[in-house]
Structure 1
């Protein structure tokens, strides 16, 4: 693996260079990313940003985890149900 990590809900998540946040979370067996506006769990699904099922908050901004490259020091959080 690598020495590079980002924070997911106060947990250190290692990642490989070029890997998306969603791929790194999935590699750590994190299957759901929190509830969406309708209360359904968000998750890694299409991998191309079309479905927006993997929305997370990164540095205060809502973004697709599958399109956002993992970078050292990022703070990634679940959305609250009313954030979308």
Structure 2
């Protein structure tokens, strides 16, 4: 059985036991959109949660490391919001 979560409003299918990052990559989504330019910056890099590059926003919850977090039905995810000075 598989399910779907939503990335920036777009449904993304996942397989049983799959992480958010694995499902996004399988769907062809590699840019996790870190608009603040923070390095390593919005991509699944290490795959073990050490680099923090895959952190994504979760609606109504704290951000998560997508490479470590199991995909769940109905999650609403997106890029982290831009932070810091100079953003309008």
TM-score, normalised with respect to structure 1:
0.86
Measure, in 1, the Cα distance between the counterparts of 2:35 and 2:77: 15
Q: Is the 8 A contact 1:39 1:81 kept in 2?
A: no
Measure, in 1, the Cα distance between the counterparts of 2:4 and 2:18: 11
Tell me by how many angstroms 1:30 deviates.
Answer: 0.4
Structure 1 window deviating more from structure 2 (74-83 vs 44-53): it is 74-83
Is 1:66 the counterpart of 2:43 in the alignment?
Answer: no
State the Cα RMSD in Å.
1.9
Q: How many residues align?
A: 82
Residue 47 of structure 1 corresponds to which residue in structure 2?
A: 47
Q: 1:75 to 1:63 in 2, by over 3 A?
A: same
Q: Segments of 4+ in structure 1 off by > 3 A?
A: 36-41
Query: Alpha-carbon deviations, 1:2-36, whole Å to 9, x = none?
Result: 3x100110100000111000000000110111116
Tell me by how many angstroms 1:37 deviates.
Answer: 3.9
Measure, in 2, the Cα distance between the counterparts of 1:39 and 1:50: 15
1:35 aligned counterpart, secondary structure? coil
TM-score, normalised with respect to structure 2:
0.82
